[in-house]
Structure 1
Amino acid sequence: MSVFGTVNTKLKIFSGRANRPLAEGIARALAVPLGNLTIGDFPDKETSVRIEEDVRGRDVFIVQPTCTPVNDHLMELLIILDAFKRASPARITTVLPYYGYARQDRKDKGRVPISAKLVANLITKAGADRVLALDLHAAQIQGFFDIPVDHLYAVKEIAKYVRSLNIDQSDLVVLSPDEGSIKKALDFQKNVGGLIAVADKRRSSATEIKHGHLIGAPLEGKSVVLYDDMISTAGTISGAVRVARDHGAKHVFVCATHGVLCGPAIERLRGSAIDQIVITDSVPLPPDKQLPNMKVISVANLIANAIGRIHGNESVSELFRDDLPGRK
């Protein structure tokens, strides 16, 4: 049964190769079949795309996180968009559960690109009429697009799981792994309760991070929940876990929307004193990156609800009205 009622037959969901299981989950939640799209590679590794059904006049949603390998999945998305643009649908919405290049959102030194803006330009030029994104690393990326952007947050789904752990409110502290994630941690704390604290982080290089002082609530004997938008190399997270344990935390849970888990991430997480790691299926989790203490939460229903609202010309922000006040 559809998550939003009767489905208009003009709604079509298609998927690239980046995360087809998530796209299938979205299609199931909407009670529509996943669209028939053939994607392959020519002998020289150029991407081949063919739409195997009529999409003229349809409301098309293309699910494709630009996750590792980022450049391959981004180029595949652009070619898919071009194919649909030439097939005359009524509207094309790009669904980005994960936005690659999001961390290159400003010039932090001379003579460097703003790659997040370049990616926005490419997606728009390729044919997208609208973008649906999940937990962008920087909210201002929405302004890089000259087309409508709907920004989803996985905080509600992750918070629901944390609440199911039945941690006593007097023992719970939400820890932001650095100063830049304070707003995300505050939003999360509104949903799970407890107190708030911040691990002071100093970046010595692009890959080296040192954590120092603790700001906010004491952690002695507490159950600490770290919350961030992504785990990439896990340098920030593992450093914050050390801070929590050094300050006497009883339990440490790590929560993030995007389990990018690149480079030394798995080794760092395996070597950290973490009770449980909670991530979503915004990007696929291959077997070599799965740890015994990992819990994967699906965002398929969240994205399906948003797609249903966009298709029905309803407000997407209503999904977060109770959980994230002020986001209208």
Structure 2
Amino acid sequence: MLGTESEIKVFAGSTGKDFAIKICNYLDSQLGKSKVITFSEGNTYVKVEETVRDKDVYLVQSMGLHPNDEFTEILFWIDAFKRASASSVTVIMPYFSYAKGDKKDEPRVSIRARVCTECIELAGADRVVTMDLHSPQIQGFFKKPVDHLFALPILCEYIKSLNIEDLVVVSPDSGFAKEARKIARYLGVPVAIGDKEREGHDENAKIIEIVGNVEGKNALIVDDFSISGGTLIDLANELRKRGVKKIYASLSHILLNEKGVAKLKDSPIEKLISTDSVYNPYIMDCKKIKIVSVAPLFAETINRIHKRESVSPLFEKVPKKVIQIED
């Protein structure tokens, strides 16, 4: 049901404000008035500070560096909007942290992504917009519509602007090989695949082998996200041993903590290119990190959803106005 007015109402969670402001700038709209309080014992309080009755509301919040708090806040926001008689609530979640928990791969474990999707729906969300899910099949965990966007064209256009010669795209493992091939096709370069093994549930993995010709080339390591930077840096060190000249990296989501950023600074990686899908204060002063905004992509998606237009063209070809490359 369309709200009584056509005005787009964008609101932000506690860690989604910067991203939401960029969205509003693209849409030439004002960020909705709201308030979040975290009490001393950890409880979260949210309040919508303007009327949303019969409005189509868009809530911007990733599950990023503090996924448990951010997820809980998303649920409270959805409930608040629904109790305030919003016509619809669309959750704009650029990064869905628990997408990693997509299966029951050992006894007595939770399928965490399934629990999260069900909670989001039970709270009252009418639609979810996200980007580069770790496991795309999670779209099927939702009964409500999901728009799954891709950072690939925006990241690749920036990489093209660097004019890197003799480039080879390198996937850290076979699991990301399909996406690595898409990136390589977009850039018109060959691909190589790393072979890593992870023995436990920690963030440490060992690079065993690299399949493909990398000697004498410049390499671009690609992955969907990194938490500790361990796999990226281990792979970069292995590539350097195999005669690679310059090493770059590209991530859809950057979750590096303070230690991860320090390791990146001391690594052979020349530049790490990622998006602003996650609010991450640890990366602000690192000259090796380049952030390319995907807020215009989400803003264009919101605009099309609001106008009841098709979103699927954005999956196939991103409009030039959405790709805003800055040096």
Q: Give TM-score, length-normalised by structure 2.
A: 0.92
- Report deviation, 1:262: 3.7
Report the Cα distance in structure 1 between the residues aligned to 2:56 and 2:185, rounded to whole angstroms. 35
Residue 283 of structure 1, aligned match among 264, 269, 278 = 278
Alignment-derived partner of residue 121 in structure 1:
118
Residue 8 of structure 2, aligned match among 7, 11, 18 = 11
Alignment-derived partner of residue 90 in structure 2:
93
Residues 201-224 of structure 1, C-alpha deviation per residue, up to 9 Å, x if partnerless? 1113222311121112x1111111
Residue 69 of structure 2, aligned match among 72, 79, 100 = 72
Residue 25 of structure 2, aligned match among 23, 28, 33 = 28
Alignment-derived partner of residue 5 in structure 1:
none
* Cα contact 1:172–1:193 (8 A) shared by 2: no
Alignment root-mean-square deviation, CA: 1.6
* Cα contact 2:65–2:280 (8 A) shared by 1: no
Matched, 1:155 2:152: yes
Alignment-derived partner of residue 209 in structure 2:
213
Report the Cα distance in structure 2 between the residues aligned to 1:54 and 1:254, rounded to whole angstroms. 44
Alignment-derived partner of residue 4 in structure 1:
none
- Report deviation, 1:67: 1.2
Amino acid corresponding to residue 209 of structure 2 in structure 1: H
Q: Equivalent residues in 2 for 1:307-318 (5 A)?
A: 307-318=302-313
Report the Cα distance in structure 1 between the residues aligned to 2:149 and 2:184, rounded to whole angstroms. 18
Report the Cα distance in structure 2 between the residues aligned to 1:267 and 1:288, rounded to whole angstroms. 10
Amino acid corresponding to residue 205 of structure 2 in structure 1: I
Q: Give TM-score, length-normalised by structure 1.
A: 0.91
- Report deviation, 1:264: 4.2
Amino acid corresponding to residue 268 of structure 1 in structure 2: K
- Report deviation, 1:281: 0.7
SS in 2 for 1:256: strand
- Report deviation, 1:182: 0.6
Q: Equivalent residues in 2 for 1:194-209 (5 A)?
A: 194-207=189-202, 208-209=204-205
SS in 1 for 2:287: coil
Amino acid corresponding to residue 213 of structure 1 in structure 2: E
Alignment-derived partner of residue 180 in structure 2:
185
- Report deviation, 1:79: 0.6
* Cα contact 1:132–1:152 (8 A) shared by 2: yes
* Cα contact 1:106–1:114 (8 A) shared by 2: yes
Amino acid corresponding to residue 104 of structure 2 in structure 1: K
* Cα contact 1:178–1:236 (8 A) shared by 2: no
> Using a 3 Å threshold, how does the CA distance of structure 1 residues 231 and 289 change in structure 2: closer, same or farther?
farther
Identity rate of aligned residues, in percent?
39
Gap regions ≥5 residues in structure 1: 1-7, 324-328
Gap regions ≥5 residues in structure 2: 319-327
SS in 2 for 1:277: strand
Matched, 1:138 2:135: yes
Alignment-derived partner of residue 51 in structure 1:
48
- Report deviation, 1:151: 0.2
Q: Equivalent residues in 2 for 1:166-177 (5 A)?
A: 166-168=163-165, 171-177=166-172
Amino acid corresponding to residue 212 of structure 1 in structure 2: I
- Report deviation, 1:321: 1.5
Report the Cα distance in structure 2 between the residues aligned to 1:133 and 1:56, rounded to whole angstroms. 25
Matched, 1:39 2:36: yes
